[in-house]
Chains A and B, each alone.
Chain A
Amino acid sequence: MSWMFSMDQYADFVWAAYGVSAIGIAGIVVWCLRSYSLARARLQELEKNAP
C-alpha cells in the first residue's frame, strides 16, 4: 500500500480530486437508486388502491 501514499508534494491535490469524484459519483448513484425505489413503491401503492 505504500506506493499509494508515496506521491510527491502534490499528493493533497491528487487525493482531493479523487475524493471529490468518489463523493460525487457515490452521491448520484445513491440518489438515482433511491429515487427509483421510491417511484416504484409509490406506483405499486397507487396500483393497489386502483379499482
Chain B
Amino acid sequence: MLRYANPKRFMGLSGAALPWLAGAAAVFLAAGLYLAFTSPPDYQQGSTVRIMFIHVPAAWVAMMTYGLMALSAAIGLVYRHPLADAAAKAAAPLGALFTALALVTGSLWGKPMWGAWWVWDGRLTSFLILLFLYLGYIALWNAIEDETRAARATAILALVGAINLPIIEFSVQWWTTLHQGESIFRRGGPSISAVFLWPLFAMAIGYTLLLFTLWIVRIRTEILERRARSLMLELS
C-alpha cells in the first residue's frame, strides 16, 4: 500500500479516478433524492421519514470519516509518512461538516417527533462530542506552525478521540436513550420497510462516494500546498 502512497503516484491515480467517483456520487445522490421524494409517508412519522434519508447517511459518513482520519493519523505516526498526515488533515473539515449536518437534520426531525430540538441523551451527546473533536483537531493543526509537530500532536488527539466511535455506536444499547436503537444492521435483518431502505441505501452510497471525492480533492490540495511551501523555502 505504501508503494501507492507516493505523492506523485497518488496525484496520477487520483486524477484519473476523480471524474468517475464524482460522476458515480452524482448518479447515486440523484437516484436517492428521487426515491426519497417519491416514497410514501410513514404511518407514524408522516413525511418526516424523508429527513432520515439525509440524516442517517450524514451520521454514517461522519463516523466513517473519523475512522479514516484516525487510521491515517496512526499510519502517519508509525511510518512518518507525509501523505498519511495530509490525508488525516484533509478529512477533518469534511467530517466536521457531515457531523454538523447529522446534528442539524436530527434536530429538525426531533422537534416534530419528540417535541424537542435537543435532548442530552447518550447518542446525541456523543455525536456532539464528535463535532468538538473535529473542531479541536482542526484548531490544533492551525495552532502549531511546525508541520511535523502539528501532525504528531493532532494524530494523538485523533487516536484518543477514536474511543468516541464505539461510544456513539453502542450508546443506544448501553443507556436508556430517546434515540431509537439499531434498525438496519441488526440481528434478524432490518426492521424498516424496503420502501424506505432503497432511498436510504442510495443516499448512503451517494454520501460515501461524495466523501471520497472531496477527500481526494482535499489531499491533492494539501500535496500542492506542501510543494509550494517547500519551493518557497528553496527560493528564499
Q: Does B51 contact A (CB under 8 A)?
A: yes
- Is B47 a contact of A24 with CB atoms below 8 Å? no
Question: Which A residues are in CB contact (< 8 Å) with B55?
Answer: 17
In this complex, what residue of A is CB-closest to B102?
A21
B43 to chain A, nearest CB (A): 12
Question: Which A residues are in CB contact (< 8 Å) with B234?
Answer: 50
Supposing A21-B101, A28-B93 touch, asked if A13 and B108 sit within 8 A by C-beta, the answer is: yes
Task: Pick from A14, A24, A49: contact of B50, CB below 8 A.
Answer: A14
Question: Which A residues are in CB contact (< 8 Å) with B112?
Answer: 10, 13
- Is B221 a contact of A13 with CB atoms below 8 Å? no
Give Cα distance in the complex from A18 to B37, angstroms. Answer: 11
A side interface size, CB within 8 A: 31
Q: Is the interface of B mostly helix, strand, loop or mixed?
A: helix
Task: Pick from A8, A28, A36, A39: contact of B228, CB below 8 A.
Answer: A39
Q: Does B27 contact A (CB under 8 A)?
A: no
B residues 88-140 in Cβ contact with A at 8 Å: 93-94, 97, 100-101, 104-105, 108-109, 111-112
Give Cα distance in the complex from A14 to B19, angstroms. Answer: 31
Q: On chain B, which size bracket covers the interface?
A: 35 or more
Task: Pick from B38, B100, B210, B221: contact of A36, CB below 8 A.
Answer: B221
- Is B41 a contact of A28 with CB atoms below 8 Å? no
Taking each of A14, A24, A39, A46, which has the highest tally of chain B beta carbons within 10 Å of its own beta carbon?
A: A14
A residues 1-51 in Cβ contact with B at 8 Å: 3-4, 7-11, 13-14, 16-18, 20-21, 24-25, 28-29, 31-33, 35-36, 39-40, 42-43, 46-47, 49-50
A43 to chain B, nearest CB (A): 5
B89 to chain A, nearest CB (A): 13
B 208-229 to A, binary, CB cutoff 8 A, 1 in contact else 0: 0010001001101100110110
Taking each of A3, A13, A18, A50, which has the highest tally of chain B beta carbons within 10 Å of its own beta carbon?
A: A13
A45 to chain B, nearest CB (A): 9
- Is A24 a contact of B221 with CB atoms below 8 Å? no
Q: Does B231 contact A (CB under 8 A)?
A: yes
Give Cα distance in the complex from A32 to B228, angstroms. Answer: 18
Supposing A4-B37, A10-B46, A28-B94 touch, asked if A36 and B224 sit within 8 A by C-beta, the answer is: yes
In this complex, what residue of A is CB-closest to B228?
A43
Supposing A32-B218, A35-B221, A36-B224 touch, asked if A13 and B210 sit within 8 A by C-beta, the answer is: no
A24 to chain B, nearest CB (A): 5
Q: List 12 A-B contacts (CB under 8 A).
A: A7-B47, A11-B47, A13-B112, A16-B108, A17-B109, A18-B54, A28-B214, A32-B214, A36-B220, A46-B232, A50-B234, A50-B235
Known contacts A36-B217, A43-B224; can you find 14 more A-B pairs with CB under 8 A? A7-B41, A7-B46, A8-B47, A10-B47, A14-B47, A14-B48, A14-B50, A17-B55, A17-B108, A17-B109, A25-B101, A25-B210, A28-B93, A43-B228
